[in-house]
Amino acid sequence: MYYASLLAKSMRKTTIGLTSFNAQDTIERAVQSALAQDWSDLEVIVVDDCSSDGSWDILRQLAAAEPRLRVFRHKTNKGYPGALNTILDHARGDFVAIFDDDDDNVPNRVRSQVERISAYEDRTGAALVLCYANRNVVKGGQSAPDHVALAIGRTAPEPSGPEVADFLFGVGAKPGKVWGMFGSCTLMARRTTFVAVGPFDETFRRCAEWDLAVRAAFMGAHFIAVDRPLVTMYKTPGTDKSGSIPLKYALLLREKHHDYLVRRGLYHASRLIARSNFHGNKGRIWKSRAYRALACMASPVFATQSLSRVYERAFRKRLRSCAGPH
């Protein structure tokens, strides 16, 4: 009875938004994944970001045969955040879910996320909620998932407010909260939440979803997720993912929110952590550790937080060893 009541209350129009750029080999699969959702009141919006391949022709053909599908095309390439903003400009749904042009989504993704948001709002009274999901990750050239990326707030206690910004800046993860991945390809929120937080910053070819999350965190938003894989993400190379580009935008994110980080005494440490994470992702472990050590030297606040986390992990490990096998 509870779930029937919850579903009746939450069964409102949902917009699925996809961005597309030179995705002729995958865009039809992604669109069909969206149209196959088991949600009756649904619209699908696809924004082609001035593709130079056959993506736009495929989209026009699909839209001609499917009344739930609306397609738009940029005359110039605006980048991923620009395409997301066009989706939000045209969205009519009470909820907006973001799908990627090369991902697969389970048929009940929309239903699962709407139910999760609605139940969380009922339980907490939260006004701003961003909902993610775990996702299967398939690396280039593979046919099966390499691992499951676990999302932030997938179980209680879910994090909220500025502590989430600190986590994204790499300078704090409050113990006791459920931390994890963000990933715009799994994001859903009420359209009113996107309006309240403001548009994606088109300065960021990368990290635009992190900037949105930081701004939402400053407004007291809650970050939750569905604790099962709703998306299969196919990792593909791209010009915005290569070389030092990820580091460039990670540093730009910290520069944009410079004043907040300075007030916390974490600005320089956060920039060093960005470099540590970048080199760690490239497999340069010792260089990553060196930058992390410099971050501790640059900020007594960060050093104290890091030491506390080390002690906490050691304490939990000790408790597990004392408990013995069950």
Which pLDDT tens digit goes with each residue over 49-68? 999 999 999 999 999 999 99
Q: What is the mean pLDDT of the chain?
A: 90
Kindly list the domain boundaries of the chain, sorted by start residue: 2-234, 265-321
In this structure, whether the domain defined by 2-234 belongs to CATH 3.40.50.720 is answered with no
Q: SS3 letters for the chain?
A: CHHHHHHHHHCCCEEEEEEECCCCCCHHHHHHHHHCCCCCCEEEEEEECCCCCCHHHHHHHHHHHCCCEEEEECCCCCHHHHHHHHHHHHCCCCEEEEECCCCEECCCHHHHHHHHHHHHHHHHCCCCEEEEEEEEEECCCCCCCCEEECECCCCCCCCECHHHHHHHCCCCCCCCCCCCECCHHHCEEEHHHHHHHCCCCCCCCCCHHHHHHHHHHHCCCEEEEEEEEEEEEECCCCCCCCCCHHHHHHHHHHHHCHHHHHHHCCHHHHHHHHHHHHHHHCCCHHHHHHHHHHHHHHCHHHHHHHHHHHHHHHHHHHHHHHHCCC
Low-confidence ranges of the chain (pLDDT < 70): 1-11, 237-242, 307-326
pLDDT (tens digit, 9 = 90+) per residue, 90-143? 999 999 999 999 899 999 999 999 999 999 999 999 999 999 999 999 987 788
**% of the chain at pLDDT higher than 90:** 79
Q: What is the pLDDT of residues 136-162, one digit of tens each?
A: 999 877 888 889 999 999 999 999 999
